[in-house]
Amino acid sequence: MKKVVVFTGAGISVESGLPTFRGSDGLWEGHRVEDVATPEAWLKDPELVQAFYNKRRADCLSARPNHAHLKLAELEKDYDIHIITQNIDDLHERAGSSKVLHLHGQITKSQSSINPSLVYDIEGAEIKRGEQCELGSQLRPHVVWFGEAVPNMEQAYKLAREAEVFVTIGTSLQVYPAANLIFETKPNCKLILIDPNAENYNVPPVVHKISEKASVGVDYLAELLAK
Ligand code: APR
C-alpha cells in the first residue's frame, strides 16, 4: 500500500466549529493566545490557563468530525495513511483514523506539572484546582506550550522521510519545528497542500496546491491518489 502521510493543522477542524489560532483577532478574552499557552503563563496564573483549556476542551467535546476527517479515515481502505496532527482535538480518532500522531498534545488528557511523562485521561471537560498526579503535583493540560520540547518530533520526521505522498491540510506552517516536516521528505515524494489560502504559501514549486477548504480538498486528494 502507498504510504501517505497527512500533516494537519487547525484549518481541518474549522468546519467542525473549532476556530483557528491565527485567523481571527488571535485574542481570547483579551489575552493573546501565546500569553496563555506558555510555561510562564502557567506559573503566573494557573487558574487563567486552566480556564482557557477547560473552555477549549468543552468546545472540542461538543464538536463532531467533518467530511475531511471522515474521508481521511475512509482512505485507509486503499492507502497506508498516517496522520501527524498539530491539533489537540480528537476529531481524527473519532472519525476512525487508526494511526494518529499528536505533535502538540491532546486536550482530552492531563499531565503532571512536574513530570510530563505522567499522563491521564480526563473525566468530563474540566481539570479542577486540587486535582493531582500521583506525585502530588497539580494536573495541567496535556498540551505542548510555546517554548516546550515537542516529544513526538523524531517520530514525525521518520514518517515524513518514509512518505511516498506528503499532504499538508489547514496549517499556516508558522510554528516550528512542525513546519519543517515538509523539508524532511525524500526527493521523489509527491507533495500536496490543501488550504483556502494555498496560493499565498511560499513553498517549493513542486508542491501541488489545492486552494480549497479541507472538506472539498480531500475529495480532490482522493482523485490525485487514485491516478
Ligand atoms: N479548511 C482548511 N484550512 C483552513 C480552513 C478550512 N475550512 N479555514 C482556515 N484554514 C487554514 C488557514 O488558511 C490557515 O492557513 O488553516 C490554517 C490555520 O492556521 P493556524 O491558525 O496558524 O493553525 P496551525 O497552523 O494549526 O497552528 C499551529 O500553533 O497555536 C499553535 O500549537 C498551536 O498547533 C498550533 C500551532
* 38 in the same domain as 84: no
pLDDT at 24: 60
From the number of C-beta atoms within 10 Å of its C-beta (0-12, 13-18, 19+), residue 95 rates as buried
Cα 176 to middle of ligand 1, angstroms = 13
* 25 in the same domain as 14: no
Q: Which of 189, 154, 9, 20 is nearest to 83 (CA)?
A: 9
* 86 in the same domain as 27: no
Q: Where are the beta strands (DSSP E) in 122-164?
A: 139-143
Tell me, yes or no, if 208 is annotated catalytic: no
Q: Please identify, among 143, 166, 194, the residue that sits at the C-terminal boundary of a domain.
A: 143
Residues 6+ apart with CB under 8 A from 91: 12, 13, 16, 18, 60, 63, 64, 65, 66, 69
- Among 69, 82, 102, 104, the one annotated catalytic: 104
Cα 113 to middle of ligand 1, angstroms = 27
From the number of C-beta atoms within 10 Å of its C-beta (0-12, 13-18, 19+), residue 167 rates as buried
In terms of residue numbers, what domain contains 7? 1-18+65-104+149-227
pLDDT at 28: 61
Work out how many domains the chain is built from and give that number: 2
pLDDT along the chain (227 residues), means of 10: 97 92 61 83 93 93 98 98 97 98 97 96 95 97 94 97 98 88 96 96 93 98 96
* 100 in the same domain as 33: no
Residue bearing the CA closest to ligand 1, atom 23: 10
Flag whether 45 is marked binding: no
Amino acid at 203: V
* 176 in the same domain as 73: yes
Assign residue 70 the CATH number of its domain: 3.40.50.1220
Q: Which atom of ligand 1 is nearest to the CA of 88?
A: 34
Residues 6+ apart with CB under 8 A from 55: none
pLDDT at 151: 94
Residue bearing the CA closest to ligand 1, atom 30: 21
Flag whether 56 is marked binding: yes
Q: In the numeric block, which cell numbers belong to residue 194? A: 490543501
- Helix ranges (H only) for 80-213 are 91-95, 153-162
Q: Which atom of ligand 1 is nearest to the CA of 213?
A: 1
